[in-house]
């Protein structure tokens, strides 16, 4: 069987190498790099699907299926050109799955599953982002950034049962606005609000982190908090709106 090569397979290696410090020596000496790693547990809030959007059966994956929490990871690398301007690259794969059944027939893509058919659902939403950020405010206690994010989503929703699998994949570009606020509470402790978001008639997307951060020294910091990813699209091809919850722990290295 021929293996499908995804964006995640292409981009994971260089970003991980960047996070591990495999960087040009001159850049590493300049102290302009910031590498951030997050992990923890992720689970689904609401997740409503209708495919195709103008003719499929609307079904709640979170209600009809026992979606299992999963371990996630995210890599982000920033390069600071100077004290104000920076460019970052993010890899954020996501995959959730579960089993269940619907008490009514479900038409999904071009397949109809009879009522009470045991089904397996998989929701995959891999995200790749290039972000420009500008620090427009800095005091001893507060730093604020704004910017823009170019996001590529590589998504798939599938249902499988009775030996039949129906799947819908989608790769698309999403422009987002970026905002970050870092507040030093006391000593090495701080609060961080980090967000990508935008709404339009075709849909919306929000990715928001609220975290408590501990600055161990000038190079290393630790964080823990909550991340929310929400949004979706409503068109003739796809109707899907979902809310995803993340319990986050992370580490950031600056060098």
pTM score, whole prediction: 0.86
How far apart (Å, rounded) are the C-alpha atoms in residues 231 and 94?
Answer: 14
Span 41-58, mean pLDDT? Answer: 96
Convert 80-134 into a string of H (helix), E (strand) and C (coil).
ECCCCEEEEEEEECCEEEEEECCCCCEEECCEEECCCCCEEEEEEEEEEEEEEEE
What percent of the chain shows pLDDT beyond 70?
Answer: 88
> Which pLDDT belongs to residue 94?
98
Query: What contacts 138, CB < 8 A, 6 or more positions away?
Result: 83, 144
Mean of pLDDT over the chain: 90
The domains located in the chain, with CATH, are: 7-254 (2.40.128.90)
């Amino acid at each position: 069987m021929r293996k499908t090569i995804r964006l995640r397979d292409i981009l994971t290696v260089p970003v991980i190498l960047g996070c591990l410090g495999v960087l040009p020596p001159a850049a590493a000496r300049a102290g302009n790099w910031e590498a951030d790693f997050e992990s923890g547990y992720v689970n689904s809030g609401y997740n409503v699907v209708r495919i195709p959007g103008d003719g499929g059966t609307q079904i709640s994956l979170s209600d009809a299926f026992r979606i299992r929490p999963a371990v996630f990871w995210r890599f982000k690398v920033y390069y600071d050109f100077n004290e104000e301007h920076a460019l970052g690259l993010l890899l954020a794969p996501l995959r959730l799955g579960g089993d269940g059944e619907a008490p009514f027939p479900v038409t999904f893509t071009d397949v109809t599953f009879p009522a009470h058919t045991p089904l397996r659902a998989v929701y995959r939403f891999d995200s790749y982002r290039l972000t420009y950020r500008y620090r427009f405010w800095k005091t001893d206690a507060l730093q604020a950034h704004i910017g823009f994010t170019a996001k590529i989503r590589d998504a798939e929703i599938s249902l499988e049962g009775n030996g039949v699998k129906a799947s819908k994949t989608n790769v698309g570009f999403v422009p987002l606005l970026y905002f970050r606020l870092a507040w030093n509470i006391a000593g090495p402790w701080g609060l961080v609000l980090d967000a990508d978001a935008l709404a339009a008639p075709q849909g919306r997307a929000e990715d928001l982190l609220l975290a408590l951060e501990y600055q161990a020294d000038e190079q290393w910091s630790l964080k823990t908090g909550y991340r929310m990813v929400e949004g979706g699209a409503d068109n003739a091809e796809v109707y899907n709106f979902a809310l995803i919850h993340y319990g986050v722990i992370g580490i950031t290295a600056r060098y």
